[in-house]
């Protein structure tokens, strides 16, 4: 089971920008409201007036309390769903926990263990030491070719930039500016910052909606969501074949676990958005009919990061033996999904091994990710 860490705080850059720019905009919104401008209700304005941002930079990307709860509850459901693989008594020979060298992944693993076992058992859980270079859990961080040709290549973000100057985006910027009653048209950066604050603050508390969600109506939320999806699609999805080919390291690891005799009956791997998306893409899940483009929104797309890659997103591959034949069942976000190369949801292991033969037996990560003379 590959699990993205639970809900976290923003990175240092976003913490600083929200603390400075949104505080400036807050004062401007309140001033314009007193002049009778804008479309927000008095109650909404009151909540913007009471809004504060006191997040310490030292907590950047740390797991939140909500993230802790997500992991505990996810683990409780997992234990109930797979009583054959996850016993009530912890045994370090049958359960493997592994996480990246980050606070959010480490803490996610620990809180997940608290939900999987009772308090006394959870204290005895052994975690595999986090490696600074981990090509199973975070292969893309050390893939030099992908870093240069995809992540740091401005062309990767062409479609997102194109959508950023589209009529749909201009209409959204005008709509947000009008709802807030501001005199000058907001920039895309400002609107995007509000959208981020709306998402982060709401995710930290399931009983609370961030006041920075008020400027958006349904249509403008859909526009901002597509703007974000274009970035993740081209950086972490189907846009470049190296992006998902490098995930063969994780796929190979999974098949090796299935084939090993006497290994753990359950492996829980705590990782990040980039890993989840690339593995999903390698498995050919949520593939759109054609590449997502910046000329217009695609409302019925299957590639939607808020659905497939939210905080706590997870993918489980479960090995079953039925009448002497091995089968694999895939669950994404705890729901059964049919892998595209399989006829049925319960897919013969032999079928998957044949389909992913290259991923298992010809996964040369070093060769794939090394920058050669022609790449420089």
Domains, the chain, in order of start with CATH, read 2-62+146-236 (no CATH), 65-144+240-368 (3.40.50.1240)
CA angle 52, 199, 160 (to 5 degrees): 125
pLDDT of residue 242: 97
pTM of the predicted protein model: 0.95
Per-residue pLDDT band for 94 (boundaries 50, 70, 90) equals confident
pLDDT of residue 254: 93
- At 117-141, the pLDDT tens digits run 988 888 889 898 999 999 999 999 9
Alpha-carbon distances of 57 from 15, 34, 87, 102, 180, rounded to whole Å: 7, 33, 40, 16, 28
In the chain, DSSP finds a helix count (H) and a strand count (E) of 18, 7
Percentage of residues in the chain with pLDDT exceeding 90?
A: 88
Indicate whether 230 pLDDT > 90.
Answer: yes
Percentage of residues in the chain with pLDDT exceeding 70?
A: 99
pLDDT of residue 206: 83
Q: Which of 260-269, 304-313, 337-346 has the lowest mean pLDDT?
A: 260-269
Determine contact, residues 139/365, Cβ cutoff 8 Å.
yes
Residue 156 CA to residue 148 CA, distance in Å, equals 11
Give the residue-averaged pLDDT of 245-249. 97
Give the residue-averaged pLDDT of 277-302. 96
* Burial classification of residue 34, based on how many CB atoms lie within 10 Å of its CB (0-12 exposed, 13-18 middle, 19 or more buried): exposed
- What is the residue-wise DSSP string for 134-198? -TTTSGGGG-HHHIIIIIT-GGGGHHHHHHHTSHHHHHHHHHHHHHHT-SSPPPHHHHHHHHHHH
CA atoms within 13 A on the CB side of 284: 9
The residue whose two tokens read 């995710």 is: 203
Give the residue-averaged pLDDT of 324-341. 97
pLDDT of residue 172: 98
Indicate whether 373 pLDDT > 90.
Answer: no
Indicate whether 6 pLDDT > 80.
Answer: yes
pLDDT of residue 51: 96
Determine contact, residues 38/32, Cβ cutoff 8 Å.
yes
pLDDT of residue 84: 84
The residue whose two tokens read 């693989």 is: 85
pLDDT of residue 140: 96
Per-residue pLDDT band for 111 (boundaries 50, 70, 90) equals very high
- Output the average pLDDT for the chain: 95
Residue 107 CA to residue 3 CA, distance in Å, equals 12
**Nearest Cα to Cα of residue 196 among 215, 180, 182:** 215
pLDDT of residue 376: 62
Give the residue-averaged pLDDT of 103-125. 93
Indicate whether 13 pLDDT > 80.
Answer: yes
Residue 85 CA to residue 319 CA, distance in Å, equals 10
**What count of other Cβ atoms lies within 10 Å of the Cβ of residue 5?**
29
Determine contact, residues 122/114, Cβ cutoff 8 Å.
yes
Give the residue-averaged pLDDT of 336-357. 97
Give the residue-averaged pLDDT of 114-118. 92
Hey, what are 184's tokens? Answer: 């000058």
Residue 213 CA to residue 205 CA, distance in Å, equals 14
- At 171-228, the pLDDT tens digits run 999 999 999 999 999 999 999 999 999 999 999 988 889 999 999 999 999 999 999 9
Per-residue pLDDT band for 311 (boundaries 50, 70, 90) equals very high
């Amino acid at each position: 089971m590959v699990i993205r860490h639970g809900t976290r705080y923003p990175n240092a850059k976003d913490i600083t920008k929200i603390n400075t720019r949104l505080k400036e905009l807050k004062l401007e919104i309140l001033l314009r409201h007193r002049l009778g401008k804008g479309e927000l209700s008095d109650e909404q304005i009151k909540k913007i007036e009471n809004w504060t941002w006191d997040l310490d930079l030292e907590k950047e990307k740390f797991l939140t309390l909500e993230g802790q709860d997500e992991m505990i509850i996810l683990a409780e459901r997992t234990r109930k769903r797979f009583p054959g693989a996850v016993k009530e008594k912890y045994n370090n020979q049958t359960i493997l926990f592994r996480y990246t060298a980050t606070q959010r992944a480490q803490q996610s693993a620990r809180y997940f263990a608290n939900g999987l076992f009772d308090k006394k058992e959870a204290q005895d859980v052994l975690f595999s030491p986090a490696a600074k270079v981990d090509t199973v859990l975070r292969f893309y961080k050390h893939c030099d070719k992908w870093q240069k040709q995809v992540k740091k290549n401005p062309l990767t973000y062409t479609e997102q930039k194109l959508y950023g100057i589209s009529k749909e985006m201009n209409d959204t910027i005008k709509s947000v500016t009008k709802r807030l009653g501001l005199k000058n048209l907001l920039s895309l950066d400002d609107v995007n910052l509000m959208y981020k604050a709306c998402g982060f603050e709401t995710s930290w508390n399931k009983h609370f909606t961030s006041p920075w969600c008020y400027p958006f109506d349904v249509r403008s939320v859909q526009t901002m969501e597509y703007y974000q999806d274009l970035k993740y699609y081209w950086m972490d999805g189907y846009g470049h074949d190296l992006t998902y080919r490098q995930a063969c390291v994780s796929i190979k690891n999974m098949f090796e676990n299935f084939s090993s005799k006497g290994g753990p009956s359950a492996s829980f791997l705590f990782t990040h958005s980039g890993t989840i998306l690339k593995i999903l893409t390698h498995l050919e899940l949520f593939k759109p009919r054609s590449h997502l483009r910046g000329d217009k929104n695609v409302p019925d797309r299957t590639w939607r990061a808020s659905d497939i890659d939210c905080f706590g997103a997870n993918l489980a591959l479960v090995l079953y033996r039925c009448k002497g034949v091995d089968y694999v069942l895939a669950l994404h976000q705890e729901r059964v999904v049919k892998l595209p190369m399989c006829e049925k949801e319960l897919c013969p292991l032999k079928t998957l091994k044949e389909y992913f033969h290259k991923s298992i037996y010809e996964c040369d990560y070093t060769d794939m990710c090394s920058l050669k003379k022609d790449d420089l």
